[in-house]
Chain A
Amino acid sequence: MNSGLPLIPRVLEKLLQRYAERRQPLTSHKAKINKTNLYILPTRQGVLFFIVLLLILAGAINYQNSLGFMLVFLTGSICFLAMVYTHQNLNHLSLYIGNAQSVFAEQTVYFPITLKFPEAALHPAIQIQAESNETTITHLISKSETQDKIAVQTIHRGYITLPRIKVSTEFPLGLFHAWSWLQMSGQCLVYPKPASRHYVLEQPINQQAGDKASEKAGVDDFAGIRQYQAGDAPAHMAWKAIAKTGELQTKRYTSETDHELCIDWSHLDARLGTEEKLSILCRMVLDAEDKGISYSFSIPGLDINSSFGLQHKQRCLKALALFGIPRETQ
Chain B
Amino acid sequence: MKRSEVYIRSPLTWLVPTLALVISPHLTRFPVWAILLVFILFIWRLLAVEKPGLLPAKWLLLLISIASCTGIFLEMGTLFGKTAGSIILSILLAIKLHESHQTRDYMILVALSFFIIVTNFFFSQSIPTVIFMLVLVVLLLVSLISINQQNAIIPAKQKIRLSIKLTLQALPLMLVLFLLFPRVPGPLWKLPEEKQTATSGLSETMSPGNISKLIQSNELAFRVNFENRMPAQEQLYWRGLVLWYFDGREWQKGKSNPTLSPQLQHSGETISYKVTLEPHQRKWLFGLDIPTKTPDKVKYTNDFLLRTTQKINQLYQYELSSALHYRIQPQISPWERSAGLKIPSNTNPQTLQLGRQLRQQYTSAEEIIQAALSIYRQQEFYYTLQPPLTPGFDPVDQFLFQTRRGFCEHYASSFSLLMRAAGIPSRIVLGYQGGTTNPINQVVTVRQKDAHAWSEVWLQDKGWVRVDPTAAIAPQRIENNLNAALSDNEPRPLHMQLNRGLAKELLFYWDAIDNRWKQWVVGYDVKLQQSLLEAFAKRKIDFSELLLIMTGAFFGVVFILVLSTLKPWKREKPRDPVLTTYEKFCSKLAKAGITRHAYEGPEDFAKRAAQALPEKKDSIQLISRLYIRLRYEPDPGPVKLDQFKQLSRDFKCK
A interface with B by C-beta (< 8 Å): 1, 3, 28-30, 44-45, 48-49, 52-53, 55-56, 58-71, 73-78, 80-82, 84-85, 96-99, 112, 114, 116, 122, 124-125, 127, 137, 139, 141, 145, 147, 170-174
B177 touches A73 (CB 8 A): yes
Shortest Cβ-Cβ A-B pairs, 6 listed = A124-B152, A77-B173, A114-B598, A77-B170, A174-B148, A73-B177
Q: What 15 new A-B contacts, CB under 8 Å, besides A29-B590, A73-B173, A174-B147?
A: A1-B150, A52-B114, A53-B114, A60-B118, A61-B184, A62-B188, A65-B118, A77-B170, A77-B174, A78-B167, A96-B597, A124-B154, A125-B149, A172-B166, A173-B144
Residue of B nearest to A185 (CB): B595
Given that A82-B166, A98-B595, A172-B144 are contacting pairs, would A48 and B111 also be in contact in the complex, using a CB cutoff of 8 Å?
yes
B150 touches A81 (CB 8 A): no
Q: How far is the CB of B455 from chain A (nearest CB, A)?
A: 38
Bound state CA distance, A68 and B125, in angstroms? 9
B118 touches A59 (CB 8 A): yes
List which B84-140 residues lie within 8 A (CB) of chain A.
103-104, 107-108, 111, 114-115, 117-118, 121-122, 125, 129-130, 133-134, 137
**CB neighbours of B177 from chain A (8 A):** 69, 73, 76-77
B597 touches A114 (CB 8 A): yes
Give the A-B contact count at a CB cut-off of 8 A: 173
B598 touches A74 (CB 8 A): no
B148 touches A29 (CB 8 A): no
Q: How far is the CB of A212 from chain B (nearest CB, A)?
A: 33
Q: How far is the CB of B189 from chain A (nearest CB, A)?
A: 6
Bound state CA distance, A63 and B122, in angstroms? 8
Residue of B nearest to A113 (CB): B598
Complex partner residue of A125 from B107, B137, B152, B158, CB under 8 angstroms: B152
Complex partner residue of B125 from A66, A74, A173, CB under 8 angstroms: A66
Given that A73-B177, A85-B166 are contacting pairs, would A58 and B188 also be in contact in the complex, using a CB cutoff of 8 Å?
yes
Bound state CA distance, A3 and B150, in angstroms? 12
A174 touches B103 (CB 8 A): yes
B191 touches A96 (CB 8 A): no
A67 touches B108 (CB 8 A): no
Q: Is B484 an interface residue when CB atoms closer than 8 A count as contact?
A: no
B522 touches A67 (CB 8 A): yes
**CB neighbours of A145 from chain B (8 A):** 598
**CB neighbours of A81 from chain B (8 A):** 166, 169-170, 173, 561
B597 touches A98 (CB 8 A): yes
Bound state CA distance, A124 and B149, in angstroms? 7
Residue of A nearest to B144 (CB): A173
Q: Is B141 an interface residue when CB atoms closer than 8 A count as contact?
A: yes
A96 touches B111 (CB 8 A): no
B107 touches A174 (CB 8 A): yes
A61 touches B188 (CB 8 A): yes
B153 touches A141 (CB 8 A): yes
**CB neighbours of A96 from chain B (8 A):** 595, 597-598
Bound state CA distance, A179 and B167, in angstroms? 25
**CB neighbours of A114 from chain B (8 A):** 597-599
With most chain A CB atoms within 10 A of its CB, the pick from B111, B117, B134, B314 is: B111
Q: How far is the CB of B250 from chain A (nearest CB, A)?
A: 35
**CB neighbours of B153 from chain A (8 A):** 139, 141
Q: Is B525 an interface residue when CB atoms closer than 8 A count as contact?
A: yes
B558 touches A139 (CB 8 A): no
**CB neighbours of A174 from chain B (8 A):** 103, 107, 144, 147-148
Complex partner residue of A64 from B104, B137, B314, B599, CB under 8 angstroms: B314
Bound state CA distance, A59 and B167, in angstroms? 23
Instruction: Return 28 A-B CB contacts under 8 Å, by A number.
Output: A28-B590, A30-B595, A48-B107, A48-B111, A52-B111, A52-B115, A56-B114, A56-B118, A65-B118, A65-B122, A67-B118, A67-B121, A69-B177, A71-B121, A73-B173, A73-B177, A74-B174, A75-B137, A77-B171, A78-B141, A80-B173, A81-B169, A82-B166, A114-B598, A122-B158, A127-B150, A171-B150, A172-B144
Bound state CA distance, A112 and B598, in angstroms? 10
**CB neighbours of B144 from chain A (8 A):** 172-174
**CB neighbours of A77 from chain B (8 A):** 169-171, 173-174, 177
**CB neighbours of A55 from chain B (8 A):** 115
B114 touches A75 (CB 8 A): yes
A48 touches B524 (CB 8 A): no
Bound state CA distance, A60 and B182, in angstroms? 13
Q: How far is the CB of A63 from chain B (nearest CB, A)?
A: 7
B187 touches A63 (CB 8 A): yes
B118 touches A112 (CB 8 A): no
Residue of A nearest to B133 (CB): A71
B interface with A by C-beta (< 8 Å): 103-104, 107-108, 111, 114-115, 117-118, 121-122, 125, 129-130, 133-134, 137, 141, 144-145, 147-154, 158, 162, 166-167, 169-171, 173-174, 177-178, 181, 183-184, 186-189, 191, 314, 521-525, 558, 561-562, 590, 595, 597-599
Given that A81-B166, A173-B145 are contacting pairs, would A74 and B171 also be in contact in the complex, using a CB cutoff of 8 Å?
yes
**CB neighbours of B125 from chain A (8 A):** 65-67
Bound state CA distance, A57 and B188, in angstroms? 12
B145 touches A74 (CB 8 A): no
Bound state CA distance, A3 and B107, in angstroms? 13
Bound state CA distance, A181 and B602, in angstroms? 30
Bound state CA distance, A84 and B114, in angstroms? 22
With most chain A CB atoms within 10 A of its CB, the pick from B108, B150, B166 is: B150
Bound state CA distance, A63 and B311, in angstroms? 13
Q: How far is the CB of A123 from chain B (nearest CB, A)?
A: 9
**CB neighbours of B149 from chain A (8 A):** 124-125, 171-172
Q: How far is the CB of A57 from chain B (nearest CB, A)?
A: 9
B173 touches A63 (CB 8 A): no
Bound state CA distance, A53 and B113, in angstroms? 12
B150 touches A66 (CB 8 A): no
A124 touches B137 (CB 8 A): no
Bound state CA distance, A59 and B121, in angstroms? 11
Q: How far is the CB of B86 from chain A (nearest CB, A)?
A: 12
Q: How far is the CB of A118 from chain B (nearest CB, A)?
A: 9
Complex partner residue of A172 from B114, B134, B148, B561, CB under 8 angstroms: B148
B152 touches A62 (CB 8 A): no
A147 touches B599 (CB 8 A): yes
Residue of A nearest to B173 (CB): A77
B107 touches A45 (CB 8 A): yes
Residue of B nearest to A45 (CB): B107
Residue of A nearest to B142 (CB): A172
Bound state CA distance, A55 and B188, in angstroms? 13
A73 touches B115 (CB 8 A): no
Bound state CA distance, A172 and B169, in angstroms? 15
Q: How far is the CB of A327 from chain B (nearest CB, A)?
A: 16
Complex partner residue of B162 from A3, A45, A122, CB under 8 angstroms: A122
B187 touches A173 (CB 8 A): no
Q: How far is the CB of B570 from chain A (nearest CB, A)?
A: 11
B133 touches A62 (CB 8 A): no
A29 touches B121 (CB 8 A): no
B141 touches A173 (CB 8 A): yes
**CB neighbours of A68 from chain B (8 A):** 118, 121
Residue of A nearest to B113 (CB): A52
**CB neighbours of B184 from chain A (8 A):** 61
**CB neighbours of A124 from chain B (8 A):** 149-150, 152, 154
Complex partner residue of A74 from B152, B170, B314, CB under 8 angstroms: B170
Bound state CA distance, A192 and B590, in angstroms? 28
**CB neighbours of B597 from chain A (8 A):** 96, 98, 112, 114
Bound state CA distance, A312 and B167, in angstroms? 63
Given that A65-B122, A141-B153 are contacting pairs, would A56 and B115 also be in contact in the complex, using a CB cutoff of 8 Å?
yes
Bound state CA distance, A65 and B598, in angstroms? 56
B147 touches A66 (CB 8 A): no
B174 touches A70 (CB 8 A): yes
Bound state CA distance, A112 and B174, in angstroms? 44
A70 touches B111 (CB 8 A): no
B598 touches A69 (CB 8 A): no
Bound state CA distance, A75 and B141, in angstroms? 10
**CB neighbours of A65 from chain B (8 A):** 118, 121-122, 125, 314
Q: How far is the CB of B554 from chain A (nearest CB, A)?
A: 8
Bound state CA distance, A122 and B562, in angstroms? 17
